[in-house]
A and B are shown apart, each in its own frame.
Chain A
Amino acid sequence: MSTGTDTAAPYRSPLRAGRDGFARLLRAEWTKFRTVRGWVLAMGAAALVTVLLGVLLATGMRTVCSNGPVEIRCPALPTGPGGEAVDDKFYFVYRQLTGDGSITARVTSMAGQIRLPDAVPGVRNVVPGVVPWAKAGVMVKESGEQGSPYAAVMVTGEHGVRMQHDFTHDTAGRPGKVSERSPRWLRLTRTGETLTGYESADGVTWAAVGTVRLAGLPDTVRIGMFAASPGHLTVTQGGISGSSSAMRFAEVTAVFDRVGLEGTAPAGAWSRQDVGVTLGPDGLPHHPGGLVESGGTFTVTGVGDIAPRLGDAVVETPLTGVAIGLIAVIVVAVTFMTAEYRRGLIRTTLLASPRRGRVPAAKAVVIGAAAFAAGLVAAGVTVPLGTRLLREGGTPVLPVSALTELRVIVGCAAMFAATAVFALALGALFRRGVAAVAAAVVMIILPHILATASVLPVDAAQWLLRVTPAAAFAILQSVPEYPQVIHHYAPAAGFYPLAPWAGLAVLCGYAVLALGLAVFLLRRRDA
């Protein structure tokens, strides 16, 4: 034996110390998720339900158009220089201009007629009037083709003088309506690819409205006067789907005089084109425009609009079933947490990982990743397949850039993930599955349904989609609002009050907050 001064070495287990790294915890939670067949199946069902509802919708939608008395496949929508679908329908009185030049004209009057909802069923109720965005003015356009580049300076029904180009761009000039007593002089000059718009009240002092560059503008272009009037929008509350909107015929007639054209243009009469006019069932042009010319005064009548097109199916249309897929995600995520409490597994879990805050974090990573994968599959299949089926059925779908389509798909996956994390956190907070499921559905799904398919007025619907987690549905909106286009900008029509990523951020904020609270309570409470 050794001497008395020796101390015995303390006992050390020969076993290697277990590692309690976060990666280990993740692996443990992943194993828990993976080995419960019901959860994996339900997560798959979430994706499947979304895809099936999308396919059901897309195959059920059939659209036919008519050209005169014959039914035809709907023609492809014209697209503008930016790739977006456009309305390009107006009456154009023009000449071919080669090289630089300018056009000047005075607008002395804007009048028109609007069709209102029938007061007596079956009797057309047409009243005199001009819609706010009826437009008339001078334009330079590349060709007679719908969707070709253009720049124009114009007077409008209620938004004063504007300079617009290439469908999506709009610059404001002087406000005020045009009349005999207060006419507007308009001028558009072309120098190479640069176009500058001017306006004047008296034809003497001119103010520039804007300067734009139309890249690739050919040497010979069309220059002249135009008139166009978008339809009159009426929104009615009630009916099966909450509210419905209708666009009714409106036309505008503008009077131009003191027309001056500078530059190299052929002499003789002005050419005219009713751009984009369609044939009615009787084989005649449907709502044609027109020109009456007498002694230097041009009276131009036009119907239609020169603007980005809205109101058709969009790439996110087949994703309408997402809300139901999300309910399945909520059920799985909640159970992933509450099952620990029901089976008493939480005590084992916390024994193995005494740093409690890490447990909900690891669970959130696992369930978030699983839901993200499910959402990615769901949207990645539904969006391309659904839009293809829609187009095959003759339904035009508003085209968007590949980047926007990718944002819709990845955004949908992110919404699945954030929903799962939020539901998981609610499960940890309530510790009772049913209450957590009800709370998650009431906060994420219900506001969306109330806002898009109920009697809720539009302002209340927009408020709901700003403050509740349902704001995340904004990530699916592919076509933006345009201030220069009147449309039924309501959640029911697919327009959300928040920008896409801002909407998703609201849901993520709720999820992070709930998860933080769950961590806090898990550390405070007895398990």
Chain B
Amino acid sequence: MRGQTHAEWTKLRTGTGAGPLLLAVVALTAAVSAAAAAAATCPAAGCSHDVPRLGLIGVQAGQAVVAALAVLAMGGEYGTGMIRTTLTAMPRRGAVLAAKAIVLTGVTLVAGTVAVLASVLAARLILPGNGFTPESGHPPLSLADGPTLRAAAGSVLYLVLIALFSLGVAAAVRDTVTAAGVVLGVLYLSPILVRLVQDPDAQRFLYRISPMDAGLTVQATTGLADLPLGPWAGLGVLAAWTAAALLAGGLLLRLRDA
């Protein structure tokens, strides 16, 4: 297993694309979070914003780049035919997917942590200037605060799960562009669907099973009682999607001719 992981790490490290994409994850996440913080204002009368969630909103943009990175790690091999060399060298196909998952988890953890920390820092610096002051009930964003720490750590885990979900889909779909379209479609479909339906029960049900809405519940720090499911349970729903995608991808990788 060490050999496989090392091989996958070498591929990711030396191939073009991974470096710029990891940088893009950090830059896009932090930039969108900072822009949202700069555009948000809190009147003196107070406001009902979920501040940690607002400060971490860039994760919704960064996840698209994370998905692209993960899709390329698997699907890119099919584009170039490299997959045949890979499977010749490492005939245990499940191990190949596992090795890719390990490497992806590592790099996404690092990039995600940097991105989330940068977002929190940007929000902490920008928001007090826009009326989010202790007087209006919003102390500066701090990781010493339990729910904020949970939101930040949960966001990093969210990005890792998105990477693994995309890896599973790419292993199943094989074409990189199609896989990227499928992943982004599945992710961004759920907020639209939740708005589409009027029936509150159906709405809560869709929220509960959707990877993005449920997964991002881990960022919520206010009005938790009104949400259809708890923060960690929400991340668990995304984890279930990820497990299903990896399982399907792994099975298809074993069964199909490469």
**Chain A interfacial positions (CB closer than 8 Å to B):** 53, 56-57, 60-62, 236-241, 320-321, 323-324, 327-328, 330-331, 334-335, 338, 342, 432-435, 437-438, 441-442, 445-446, 449-450, 452-457, 459-460, 463-464
Q: Does B103 contact A (CB under 8 A)?
A: no
A238 touching B191, Cβ below 8 Å? no
A442-B28, A455-B50, A456-B54 as given contacts; A238 in contact with B226, CB under 8 Å? yes
Contact of A457 with B227 in the complex, beta carbons under 8 Å:
no
Q: Is there an interface contact between B68 and A437, defined as CB atoms closer than 8 Å?
A: yes
Q: Is the CB of A237 within 8 A of B176?
A: no
The answer to whether the Cβ of B202 comes within 8 Å of any Cβ in the partner chain is: yes
Q: Contact: A434 with B60, CB < 8 Å?
A: no
Looking at B105-113, B133-141, B192-200, the stretch in contact with chain A turns out to be B192-200
Contact A330 B181 (CB under 8 A): yes
Residues of A within 8 A of B150 (CB): none
A434-B72 in contact (CB<8A): yes
Check if A459 sits within 8 Å of B191, measured CB to CB. no
Q: Which B residues form the contact surface with A (CB < 8 A)?
A: 17, 21, 28, 32, 35-36, 39-41, 47-50, 53-54, 57, 60-61, 64-65, 67-68, 71-72, 75-76, 79, 176-181, 184-185, 188-189, 191-199, 202-204, 207, 213, 222-223, 226-228
Residues of B contacting A62 with CB < 8 Å?
198
Q: Judging by beta carbons under 8 Å apart, are B39 and A463 in contact?
A: yes
A237-B47 contact in complex given A453-B191, A456-B54, C-beta closer than 8 Å: yes
Identity of the chain A residue whose Cβ is nearest the Cβ of B16 in the assembled complex? A432
Q: A60-B202, A241-B195, A450-B60 are in contact. Are A455 and B49 (CB under 8 A)?
A: yes
Give the nearest-CB partner of A313 in chain B.
B198
- B79 & A238 in contact (Cβ 8 Å cutoff): no
Cβ–Cβ < 8 Å partners of A331 in chain B: 177-178, 180-181
Bound-complex Cα distance A433 to B79 (A): 11
Q: List 24 A-B contacts (CB under 8 A).
A: A237-B48, A239-B223, A240-B204, A241-B195, A320-B192, A321-B196, A324-B185, A324-B192, A328-B185, A330-B181, A331-B177, A335-B177, A342-B79, A437-B180, A438-B64, A441-B184, A446-B188, A449-B188, A449-B192, A450-B61, A452-B195, A454-B191, A459-B40, A460-B40
Contact of A454 with B57 in the complex, beta carbons under 8 Å: yes
Known contacts A434-B75, A456-B36, A457-B49; A334/B64 CB under 8 A: no
Q: How far is the CA of A73 from the CA of B243 in the complex (A)?
A: 47
Q: Complex formed: what's the CA distance from A335 to B75 in Å?
A: 14
Chain B residues positioned under 8 Å from A237 (CB to CB) = 47-50
| CB < 8 Å neighbour of A449 from B28, B71, B191 | B191
Q: Determine whether the beta carbon of A460 is less than 8 Å from that of B39.
A: yes
Q: How far is the CA of A342 from the CA of B202 in the complex (A)?
A: 43
Contact of B180 among A239, A342, A438 (CB under 8 A): A438
Q: Looking at the assembled complex, report how far the CB atom of B122 sits from the nearest CB atom of chain A, in whole angstroms.
A: 14
10 closest A-B pairs (Cβ-Cβ)? Answer: A460-B39, A433-B177, A331-B181, A453-B191, A438-B68, A437-B180, A237-B48, A457-B40, A238-B223, A57-B196
